[in-house]
Amino acid sequence: MSQPRALLADVVPFSWVDGPGNRFAVFFQGCNLDCLACHNPHTMPQLTGRAREVTVDELVADVRRVAPFLSGVTVSGGEATLQASFVAAFFQTLHDDPATAALTRYVDSNGCADAATWDMLLPVTDGVMLDLKALDCETHLALTHHSNAPVLMSLHHLAAAGKLAEVRLLIVPGYNDGEDALRDTGDYLAEHAPGVPVRIIGFRPHGVRAAARDIPEPTTEDREHYAEWVASAVGAELVSIV
């Protein structure tokens, strides 16, 4: 029987920024958002000559070679849930292989996946790190050209399943950095995802598309204010700043 195959943009064998500990990060090709501030715009198109095709066994073999030095594996993108059948098979194989069974398996997602996709992935997933670009739908549309309705549905679904490991807020000055908006976001998360860590990520222009290069990078003081506004509802112990 043929194995599922996936298109990858890249892999990073050792990453300290894609989940807890030292992780093998897999960046899938293709995304269903069109984010203004995307720092990996080359991963957005689903069809590109830059991507490489792999099987589950090939990717697991890559992980197995460095498994003694890892805490876990994270799938990202692009958007990994667009190739959910492959991710499910990949995670199940990692779980079943004695050489990789101890590694935690995380999904880093923009949240634009339906409940059926999550129900396929969650039995073999230890946690999901979810991006919330904006709580306000109009702001979300301006940043991503997509409604945030599926993102909020995913947040509720993952929180109810106990698999929401972290909510990530990418703060883009001039779009979603207002005090009222961030306090509202904190209130929303405190109600719908209580106890879930929140990571404040300040926009950085490195690697972004031309349309975003003139957006200013928030200062350290700006980031501290963002964190303070969100933490007023969720608790300072749950908020970190990048």
- The dihedral region occupied by 207, where left means phi > 0, alpha psi between -120 and 50, and beta the remainder, is left
Q: pLDDT tens for residues 182-227?
A: 999 999 999 999 999 999 999 999 888 888 999 999 999 999 999 9
Q: pLDDT tens for residues 6-65?
A: 999 999 999 999 999 999 999 999 999 999 999 888 899 988 888 999 999 999 999 999
Q: What does the block give as tokens for 226?
A: 């963002």
Mean pLDDT of the chain: 96
- The dihedral region occupied by 162, where left means phi > 0, alpha psi between -120 and 50, and beta the remainder, is left
Burial class (CB in 10 A: 0-12, 13-18, 19+), 119: exposed
Cα–Cα distance measured from residue 13 to residue 15, given in angstroms and rounded to the nearest whole number: 7
Q: Does domain 5-241 have CATH number 3.30.930.10?
A: no
| 77 phi/psi in degrees, rounded to 5 | -175, -150
Angle between helices 179-192 and 149-161 (to 10 degrees): 40
Using the predicted structure, report yes or no on whether residue 67 has a pLDDT greater than 80: yes
**Looking at residue 210, what is its pLDDT?**
87
**Looking at residue 109, what is its pLDDT?**
98
**Looking at residue 233, what is its pLDDT?**
98
Under the banding of pLDDT at 50, 70 and 90, the label for residue 112 is very high
Using the predicted structure, report yes or no on whether residue 98 has a pLDDT greater than 70: yes
DSSP state of 79: -
Q: pLDDT tens for residues 148-172?
A: 999 999 999 999 999 999 999 999 9
Could you tell me the residue ranges of all domains in the chain? 5-241
**Looking at residue 74, what is its pLDDT?**
98
**Looking at residue 241, what is its pLDDT?**
97
- Sheet-wide strand order for 23-28: 52-55, 5-15, 23-28, 72-76, 104-109, 127-131, 164-171, 198-202, 239-241
Write the CA distances from 206 to 38, 210, 216, 217, integer angstroms: 10, 11, 11, 10
Q: Where are any strands of DSSP class E within 64-155?
A: 72-76, 104-109, 127-131
Using the predicted structure, report yes or no on whether residue 1 has a pLDDT greater than 80: no
